[in-house]
Amino acid sequence: MRSLILKEIDELIYGSMGIIIFIAFFIGGVVTIQTALNLNNPFLPKSLIGFATRQSVILEFAPTFTSIIMAGKVGSYITSSIGTMRVTEQIDALEVMGVNSLNYLVFPKIIAMFMYPFAVAIAMFVGVLGGWIAAVFGGYAPSGEFIKGLQMEFESFHVTYAFIKTLIFAFVIATVPSFHGFFMKGGALEVGKASTTAFVWTSVVIIILNYILTQLILG
């Protein structure tokens, strides 16, 4: 089981780091530019750009936006891999051998996804870094002002809130696509349809949970 979990961490988390870093970097940059372009009142300090970037990236973009991306990348991988095993009777083969197929296929994915907060932590850092680069090299705010904004009225509970959300989203990303793959019926065409359905439902569940959790934790 340990080797299965490590394999899943490699495929689900480590294998997604490239896209997570890429998206976080540019989203951080875009948030900074958008904020800077909308703060054209000379009485507002430039440090607000850093503040807005930090809040946006930590509270929403890193945990929620990244989870939607992961629902597409990891979710469709989970559904299609388990669905293909269903179609090609590999799951029946496991059952015949006396293996608890649900436990064998899904449990390692759930455990592996508990590493997902580490990926989101990196997304937070890279997002803020992207914002800093956009601010400084785009000429929107001096480095000192941006960093001052980053440190302004920092509430560590916001990071805790983001990680609580992330853990729950991780569970959703592992289980909803697994359900759609494991209980699918049909052939290769249905595997594709199940992947799409899994992505849609995972995204819907994440969006709804995001609202409920925000209301419960911060409201």
Partner 1 sequence: MIEVENIHKSFGDAHVLKGISTVFEDGKTNLVIGQSGSGKTVFLKCLLGLFEPDEGQICYNGQFYSELSTSERRDLRQEMGMVFQGSALFDSMTVEGNVMFPLDMFTNQTKAEMQDRVDFVLERVNLIDAHKKYPSEISGGMQKRVAIARAIVMNPKYLFCDEPNSGLDPKTAILIDNLIQEITKEYNITTIINTHDMNSVMEIGEKIIFLKDGFKEWEGTNKEIFKTDNEAVTNFVYSSELFKKVRQMYIEERN
**CA gap 80, 207 in Å, rounded:** 23
Near partner 1 by CB under 8 A: residue from 73, 95, 159, 197: 95
Q: Is 46 helix (H, G, I), strand (E, B) or coil?
A: coil
Piece of the chain touching partner 1 by CB under 8 A; list 32-40, 58-66, 90-98, 116-124: 90-98
Residues 175-214 that bind partner 1 (CB under 8 A): none
CA-CA distance, 64 to 202, in Å (whole number)?
12
Q: CB of residue 93 vs partner 1: minimum separation in angstroms? A: 4
Stretch in the footprint of partner 1 (CB under 8 A) among 51-59, 94-102, 107-115, 136-144 = 94-102
Which phi-psi region, left, alpha or beta, contains residue 39 (left: φ > 0; alpha: ψ -120 to 50)?
beta
92 contributes a contact to partner 1 by CB under 8 A:
yes
Nearer to partner 1, 52 or 85 (CB): 85
Residues 26-65, one symbol each (x = binds partner 1 by CB under 8 A, - = not), give: ----------------------------------------
Q: How many residues does the chain have?
A: 219
Residue of 34, 90, 175, 214 interacting with partner 1 (CB under 8 A): 90
Give the whole-angstrom CA distance, residue 156 versus residue 202: 28
Closest CA to 82 of 180, 156, 149: 180
Report the site for partner 1 in 96-115 (rule: CB under 8 A): 96-99
CB nearer partner 1, residue 43 or residue 185: 185
- The H-assigned helical ranges of the chain are 2-8, 17-38, 47-56, 66-87, 90-97, 101-113, 116-137, 143-151, 156-182, 188-218
Applying CB under 8 A, the residues found at the interface with partner 1 are 84-85, 88-90, 92-93, 95-99
